[in-house]
Amino acid sequence: MESYSYSSPGPRSTNQDFILDAKVDADTRLVCVADGVGGNNGGEIASKTAVEEFSKSFLERSLSMEESVLHAHDKIREIGAENSNLHGMATTLTVLYVHDLELLGVHVGDSRAYILRGDGVMQLSMDHSEVARYLREGKLTKEEAANYPRKNVLYNALGMQKKPEVQTFKFSLEAGDRLALMSDGVSGVVSKRTFRNLSKSSKTIEEFGEKLVSRVENGGVSDNYSIILLGL
């Protein structure tokens, strides 16, 4: 299984994204992307806590993926309660666990998981942002959504007062499939069509990753951004 991972602060002074690309064994990989929110370094702490607590719970304590997400949420809330400067910090968390040709995933927030197969690309995760929800409910058109002033507002994230709704998904993989995790710093700049075309024109995962980073850097990125790519 090939992999490529990259995380950058972009034009910002700090990076509130945190990623993990862990080879569990020869046939198994765990990958995570978290995108933090909150002042006073809160976003950085929330995203790092989410990934570290999730992976520890799932890999070492044998909790289920969903239980591990909820444990990470509780830990972020606990840290925020102990330090008033970190009160209200939150983060997205999107995780893929690949074993042989079986994919399991969990997701909270608006980071994204994709599968690329042949000429197609499909988003596996659902955006938990206000604008995406209004689009799904038919309250906004695509044109209205493009100019919506609260694009980055999440209604579902780890660390919020409300217990997070955890999206879970599973997928049967095939040789040649590619998987991608990304924070909204990437998906906000690179269209799905461009993303697919970059993959199709790249023979290796590393080449795909380098082309994607270059496209983000030249596409007017305004945020931290993170990418993890897997090739089967």
CB-based contacts of 4, cutoff 8 Å, min separation 6 = 205, 206, 208, 209, 210, 227, 228, 229
Question: What's the CATH code, domain 2-231?
Answer: 3.60.40.10
pLDDT at 150: 84
| 34 beta partners | 18
pLDDT at 151: 76
pLDDT tens per residue across all 232 residues of the chain: 999 999 999 999 999 999 999 999 999 999 999 999 876 679 999 999 999 999 999 999 999 999 999 999 999 999 999 999 998 999 999 999 999 999 999 999 999 999 999 999 999 999 998 888 888 999 888 888 888 888 778 999 999 999 999 999 999 999 999 999 999 999 989 999 999 999 999 999 999 999 999 999 999 899 999 999 999 9
pLDDT at 40: 67
What CA–CA distance (Å, rounded) separates 231 from 10?
Answer: 25
- Cβ atoms of 18 and 51 within 8 Å: the answer is yes
pLDDT at 171: 96
What CA–CA distance (Å, rounded) separates 176 from 173?
Answer: 9
